[in-house]
Amino acid sequence: MQTEQIVRTFVEYFEERGHRRVTGSTLLPPSGDPVLFTTSGMHPLTPYLLGRPHPLGRRLVNVQRCLRTTDLEEVGDDTHLTVFEMLGSWSLGDYEGPQSLDWGHRLLTEGLGIDPSLLYATVFAGDEQTGPDTDSLGLLQERGVPVELTVEDNWWSNGPVGPCGPDSEIFLWSGDTPPRSTPTGDDRWVEVWNHVMMRHRRLEDGSLVPLPQRSVDTGLGLERLACLLQGKSSVFDCDVFEPWHRLVPSLWPLDEPSLRPVVDHLRSSVVVVGDGVRPSATGQGYVLRRLVRRVLTTLWRDEPSRTLGDLPDELLLHTLDHFRQDVDPGEVRQVLLDEERRFGRLMERGRQLLARPRFQGPLGDEDFHYLHDTHGLPRDLVLNLREE
């Protein structure tokens, strides 16, 4: 099943059950938001989860692009991407968690054809502030889903303060043996769909107060589900990456551990530029800068003449089109090339500086500070240059 078809099946399933589709936001949260990028489908809906009435009603569904910098170091494994899409459904003070889990389970098994014996769920076991989520446990057991109880892993929040609550996570077995163990015991159980019972708000002092309404917020990682439904072992092998796999290796022969982050970071950079961000020394622009520079560091390790100017138009167009960004690919290419030039000049300056006698021995903190503060050379870059 292709990604587009999964999206259609998901959205229609919830529309048939009274949900209205909300247009996904860009990756840029509204000004004043403490987070740099939209990190989950619920993020743009936070005011409504806190109690403000939504103009489209109490049942919503959407597809939201998200970016998580916390996952940057994990990109390259089988399940993490920097930019990914989340399918979401919401009850804003309408139905409760068991209804959401019931629909979730039916959609996965009946709508998307997943063998029920390949599913497992985790449910909140309770802690000193909040009791166990017996309603979710009851529903999942009724549906015949095995359940593991956990504490920290089944509490969802978007930060230290704000809306939060116990969650129930549905996992799908990705192994090529029959399922074994439990989600916390075997990482071949891949989390695909999180159902959060948004009932609390955490205050600065760590205490919890009830929200004015009991809501449900669900998020399903699209590429993860697509890869499993397509019988692939990694998100990089699902259909959205097809053109990248077809075109990048012939352009830049890279081993698989290098190829994955290069593809992820380039695709993410295109989307971030498409949403209007430009490389800079702080904030969103700095995240973009890091993505592009990580790509270039890998590309130039083997062959310094490689350039982002060689990226085929098809890859830029495919990505902008997929994320419905009405942006000229030539403009995106120019942003990437400008950053490439800046980084190239910085590398050159770094090489000249590091050739000085002062930097021939082991480098101390003072050297790193000097190179960074006076010459703009970040520690990572210095370490890379020393390895050349």
How many degrees, rounded to 5, is the angle at CA 10 between CA 9 and CA 11?
Answer: 95
Query: Which residue of the chain is nearest ligand SER when measured via CB?
Result: 219
- Subset of 274-333 contacting ligand SER (CB under 6 A): none
Shortest distance, position 67 Cβ to ligand SER, whole Å: 13
Query: In 3-state terms, what secondary structure has residue 20?
Result: strand
Segment interacting with ligand SER (CB under 6 A) among 38-46, 140-148, 227-235, 283-291: 38-46
Binds ligand SER by CB under 6 A, chosen from 3, 64, 100, 194: 194
Looking at the Cβ atoms of 190 and 273, the one nearer to ligand SER is 190
Q: Which two tokens stand for residue 333?
A: 């290419």
Segment interacting with ligand SER (CB under 6 A) among 40-48, 107-115, 207-215, 251-259: 40-48
Shortest distance, position 49 Cβ to ligand SER, whole Å: 9
The residue type of 335 is V
The residue type of 153 is D
Number of other residues whose CB lies within 10 A of the CB of residue 265: 25
> CB burial class (10 A; 0-12, 13-18, 19+) of residue 113?
exposed
- Subset of 78-107 contacting ligand SER (CB under 6 A): 88
φ/ψ of residue 364, rounded to 5: -100, 175
Contacts for 293 with CB less than 8 Å, ≥ 6 apart: 339, 343, 381
193-213: burial string, b at 16+ Cβ within 10 Å, e else: bbbbbbbbbbeeeeeeeebeb
Q: Are strands 147-150 and 155-157 parallel, antiparallel or unpaired?
A: unpaired
Shortest distance, position 369 Cβ to ligand SER, whole Å: 38
Contacts for 301 with CB less than 8 Å, ≥ 6 apart: none
Shortest distance, position 217 Cβ to ligand SER, whole Å: 5
Shortest distance, position 169 Cβ to ligand SER, whole Å: 8
Shortest distance, position 24 Cβ to ligand SER, whole Å: 13
Segment interacting with ligand SER (CB under 6 A) among 35-43, 170-178, 284-292, 340-348: 35-43
Question: Could you give the CA distance from residue 317 to residue 335 in angstroms, rounded to a whole number?
Answer: 15
- Subset of 133-172 contacting ligand SER (CB under 6 A): 156
Looking at the Cβ atoms of 41 and 274, the one nearer to ligand SER is 41
Q: Could you give the string, one character per residue 205-224, with x where binding to ligand SER holds by CB under 6 A and - elsewhere?
A: ------------xxx-----
Shortest distance, position 2 Cβ to ligand SER, whole Å: 23
Number of shown-chain residues binding ligand SER (CB under 6 A): 10
Shortest distance, position 27 Cβ to ligand SER, whole Å: 15
Residue 161's Cβ-side half-sphere holds a number of Cα atoms within 13 Å equal to: 7
| Residue 42 found at the interface with ligand SER (CB under 6 A) | yes
Residues near ligand SER (CB under 6 A): 40-42, 88, 156, 194, 196, 217-219
